[in-house]
Amino acid sequence: MPLPFQLNPVLERLPVYQPGRPIEEVARELNLPAADIIKLASNENPLGPSPKALAAMRKTLSSLNLYPDGNAFYLKQKLATKLGITPGAIILGNGSNEIIELLGHALLTPESEVVVSQYCFAVYPIVTALFGAKLVTVPAKNYGHDLDAMLAAITPKTRLVFVANPNNPTGTVVSPDELRSFVNAVPPHVVVALDKAYVEFIELPADLSHEVSTGLRPNVILMRTFSKIYGLAGLRIGYGIAAPEFITALEKIRQPFNINALAQAAALAALDDDKHVENTRRTNKRGMKLYTKAFKELSLEFIPSAANFILVRVGDGTRVFAEMQKLGVIVRPMAGYGLGEWIRISIGTPKENHRCIEVLKTCVSDLQSRNIDG
């Protein structure tokens, strides 16, 4: 039935985000118990939420009749102390995805251009299209960001450039020096959004938070999240760091209670959970070794990753994804990113990783023999 009213015309061509498939959905479809299925599709923390965060949430349950602190005073204070910056340079988001959308509201009109890299995070093109702006996609270099080419793509109409470091879905990184020279070279009329969702997985990240928060770099915003290293993806909480004047503008746009009370309590506690963070890093490092070793043995091309997931070239990615799913392992097909021969695997627990590798072996060799048979 056609709707009797007019929708915003941008909706006609708006790409739809394709999330990793939830375990319960696949369980219903395959008629399998959910416990038999593993999901390595959304770069979630395989160790679960921070235990300290869980305890803090339990304590908060009985006061859920009250609205949360709309300004998240304690969480901002704690983040500020931890990062050595002023709380006024922080905005919290319902996931860092909300920060990306706030940037759209604050900066983009149909006249604007947004510069991204080929193989960028899918949310950047969606937000760009939502505000009717023009997406300028710069070809990747070795699957990673070609920062020089991105710089060259900036025009007087450019309002925003997104750089995820490490990048999702490729896991590629640029060095702190390269990142700094890029940020230095971007003209001041362009906002650089540095997405640091996986920064905790790299050894020596560039730290721009001090210069950004003191207003020395008014056109840079750093985005971070509790979804990955802290294992709180289901709670939806992330944050942005920028010059206080920029933060004030973004604060006007957000919903008054965008961060719920459980998320505030959990994030506050998670920031003290160094043990969980360390375990997560260690588990990830070991898992990454296991996968790269297995891919070499299977002669499968992969892209060395600095994050908690890895891209591997399997031939027909959509088919391998479907075959693996039948065997209870959910990974991420990459055709939507223009990487149809690849799948992305999130690093899991040792047990999950072993199972995933076994299932991958089966599916890849099945497909190879079937193709040889014609």
Give the binding site for ligand PLP (CB under 6 A): 43, 95-97, 121, 164, 168, 195, 197, 225, 227-228, 233, 238
Output the smallest distance, CB 233 to ligand PLP, in A.
5
- Residue 230 has, within 13 A of its CA and on its CB side, a CA count of 25
User: 164: part of which helix (H) or strand (E)?
Assistant: strand 158-164
If the CB atoms of residues 154 and 307 are measured against ligand PLP, the closer one turns out to be 307
Distance, CA of 328 to CA of 211 (rounded, Å)? 47
Rounded least distance, CB 7 to ligand PLP, Å: 25
- The side-by-side arrangement of strands in the sheet containing 238-241 is 90-93, 238-241, 220-225, 191-195, 158-164, 113-117, 134-138
- Least gap, CB of 326 to ligand PLP (angstroms): 26
Q: Which is nearer to ligand PLP, 265 or 359 (CB)?
A: 265
C-beta of 294 vs 310, nearer to ligand PLP = 310
Closest residue to ligand PLP: CB criterion: 95
Nearest approach, Cβ of residue 312 and ligand PLP (Å): 17
When the beta carbons of 128 and 227 are compared against ligand PLP, the nearer one is: 227
**Of 164 and 324, CB closest to ligand PLP:** 164
**N- to C-terminal Cα separation, the chain:** 44
Q: Nearest approach, Cβ of 323 to ligand PLP (angstroms)?
A: 25
User: Nearest-CA neighbor of 196 among 212, 218, 215?
Assistant: 212
Burial class (CB in 10 A: 0-12, 13-18, 19+), 167: buried
